[in-house]
Amino acid sequence: MDLLNTLVDKGLRREVPTRDEALAVLATSDDELLDVVAAAGKVRRTWFGRRVKLNYLVNLKSGLCPEDCSYCSQRLGSKAEILKYTWLKPDDASKAAAAGVAGGAKRVCLVASGRGPTDKDVDRVSETIATIKEQNEGVEVCACLGLLNDGQAERLRAAGADAYNHNLNTSEATYGDICTTHDFSDRVETVQQAQAAGMSACSGLIAGMGETDADLVDVVFALRELDPDSVPVNFLIPFEGTPLAKEWNLTPQRCLRILAMVRFVCPDVEVRLAGGREVHLRSMQPLALHLVNSIFLGDYLTSEGQAGKDDLAMIADAGFEVEGTDTTTLPAHRRDTADATEPADAAAPADTDAESATVPAPSEETRRDLVAVRRRGAGTDLPPNA
């Protein structure tokens, strides 16, 4: 396909595709899927070889969030029967992190529900970061605490945080449809605060919330403009008890096309296969490794993932290798702050029909039984999955 050849050439030059080209990837047929995966895989291997970075989530504070994000099981008014607990003590958080590191995780992601941290919360998380780094040599720590106030990003960086995560989630035009307690610009500002403080920015999206192809392209292009070092791609986990519980819009094929589109738009960025991969990709997860260079190991914040040993076996069986702590994830040109990513080409206007395209109807054979609430690990007396 001329489209795929063009996208590969652009990806190898770190050149942004046009909106039309990104939309065309999402519009490819199932018959073309393996060609799409092969093309995006060439871009992925050029910048990251066959390495897969493992990340491990520690939910420091679960549930009881005052924000109303429709996709979230921890949201205000959620009836999802998830674990609810207040802040983990630093030693408990470090023990949870150590399980992930022992399983091969290179980065530990510390997440807390809520609109954003208080200054006392930043002190608490800073102590946790110090404890984890003291007990786990070489581990990267990413904080994900919500919206930041002035000075908090600098304090987290001084405490040893390597990265900060705050996802854009969906397009600016539709953000108000999934959340009313804060807006898209708040999220952009927090990512920029993290970057200004010297932390590596991590910001991504959630697919499967009923968005159009145009919405997906919009959010990915917004991410490209923000230029985070890592872009996690989440697939909606439709928790019972949340407003989006019935949004089963994804197929494994659509998930792969979305991942390919993200790789083409963000060719030299750490693209992470995040929440929902087991639910929506299922047996096609190994194909996704040809598109992403990073995954979460084990469980997520409030839901269970597949067994950590199965993640490791999948990586090995697919011919990939776990990235070690002695290897730097990003290509050299991204590690050098003086060598910024080249300016993006002006995007062409998108095709009107593609802009208005809607997602496919959910299948009658959707595996709703694959959504399992986390009942082990952080906040419980049971060992974690790592």
Residue 87 covered by a domain: yes
Structural domain of 124 = 7-324+345-369
**pLDDT at position 79:** 87
Residue 168 covered by a domain: yes
**pLDDT at position 336:** 64
**Lowest model confidence (mean pLDDT) among 9-23, 142-156, 166-180, 338-352:** 338-352
Banded pLDDT at 375 (limits 50, 70, 90) = confident
**Lowest model confidence (mean pLDDT) among 35-44, 188-197, 349-358:** 349-358
CATH of the domain at 304: 3.20.20.70
pLDDT at 275 over 50: yes
- The number of domains in the chain is 1
375 versus 272: the higher-pLDDT residue is 272
pLDDT at 355 over 80: no
pLDDT in tens, 292-328: 999 999 999 999 999 999 999 999 999 999 999 889 9
pLDDT at 338 over 50: no
Residue 186 covered by a domain: yes
Residue 242 covered by a domain: yes
Residue 376 covered by a domain: no
**Lowest model confidence (mean pLDDT) among 155-169, 197-211, 260-274, 349-363:** 349-363
Q: What is the mean pLDDT of the chain?
A: 91
Residue 128 covered by a domain: yes
**pLDDT at position 346:** 34
Banded pLDDT at 360 (limits 50, 70, 90) = very low
Between strands 107-112 and 51-61, the pairing is parallel
**pLDDT at position 327:** 92
**pLDDT at position 339:** 36
**pLDDT at position 263:** 98
